[in-house]
Amino acid sequence: MESLKIKGRIWIETESGLKIGIGRARLLQQINDLGSITEAAKVLKFLTEKRGEL
């Protein structure tokens, strides 16, 4: 029998719209770990435009 994996994405949403998804959560964790938005974005190859939306 094949090995099965459950995959999915979780995000926080309110009546006014999306608040945070996995990408932003990872970015925030890297900022916390590295102490730098720029370094965190480099590690995650995050687009500059997305960083400005936080």
- pLDDT at position 48, please? 54
Rounded CA separation 24/35 (Å): 15
- pLDDT at position 34, please? 94
**pLDDT of 16-50, one tens digit each?**
887 787 888 888 899 999 999 999 988 888 765 54
Start-to-end CA span in the chain (Å): 44
Q: Helix, strand, or coil here: 27?
A: helix
* pTM for this model (two decimals): 0.55
